[in-house]
Structure 1
């Protein structure tokens, strides 16, 4: 049995290493190198460089494994380590990366997993993690905006297919094609060409396009931005509250330690 004092020392050292800024920057650098290796493999490269990349990839995988182990040891409550979704994601990516994939049926899956190692940048950098958490929290509200946008698309596509199908069936032949054309209009991809073509038959059709652009590109886009910004502010407020609570608990613990020391001193003087 390993003494509890030894386990505590190991945990403290792992926690210090995990919170070390230099170690965090080192891991970020390794993730960037891993991403560059994934891109390098898409180019025709000499055999010697290809072998070097393979060995470098192996080294990066073991570095990731070491970093996961450090984070696991540093966790005071080991059972709660996998309650964090990012810890589960990082562990799965590293474990699958350890599986040999050369000349196997899982080669494609292994390569895809190595591509997803770039996402570990999000789990390492708190600011990116906050942005992604805010986006995920905003999805339920964004769903209603997307639904309303689909309704607008459907109505305008039905109108376009009804009036403009005879002008250009490639763009307005049916409601599905009309929705694709409207997406082109919303993204401003040569939308004036589409408008001028219909204006040769319906001179007032410009109102159809301008009203659609107002609803989709302007109104709905601003709604989406507003929802995301609002959720992001809530996330920052929650983080500040948690930080203030942690600082308050730390101050309270320091005060308790000082009171204990004073009690011990008084008891010593009384003796």
Structure 2
């Protein structure tokens, strides 16, 4: 209050300002558990990233569906500093690194790096270090790393398709149960990946497990009947349904003796349509 009253009139003072409408949330927190792990224990994905972690890594994961946006790098900076400020057991800022995982480098990312006075240092095969700042920062390109490490699962989160056996098995396991399906939906890039997987399936595989009404949902009546022979179009219909499905001109040609064989409710519907 006193600052607002005593500051010069060309300074606008706000207090208790929320920096974001959303609660800050980091995508991943990586904690190194062993100081000197076996050199051959590199995991099955992002194999060259893990040795770079001194103790803690704050990671942001960007996907095709939620791509890197302008100033995303600044947000990663903020997350690292916020974590350091609240972690009393972390004595040195050098114990924390920031990691940005993206499908590939984009002009937006490159512009942010330049605007912050940083430079890319090529660690090869899709791994980059951003030098020139207070923090140790790394960028990982999903597409390139997936190719170089033959990691089809990782590649399926980028621009690549899940053609490898490992990728197929991974997604079968993720979607194998209702509980796993719910967890899989929380994975970054889930929606766009599922859309791409569906485009690769043959029509019969896409339709498998769908009820008849679900298969036809969204189709106009003429589209539902397209390609069917006349007898196939009428299969399963009652004679009353067949009658009411006729055009008005056809109904007018029918004799009264034939219409008299139908229930009163059907004849009444016919009379309303043809005026007799």
> In which range does the TM-score fall when normalised by the shorter chain?
under 0.3
**Larger strand percent:** 2
**Larger helix percent:** 1
Higher relative contact order (CA 8 A, sep 6+): 1
The TM-score normalised by the length of structure 1 is 0.21
The TM-score normalised by the length of structure 2 is 0.20
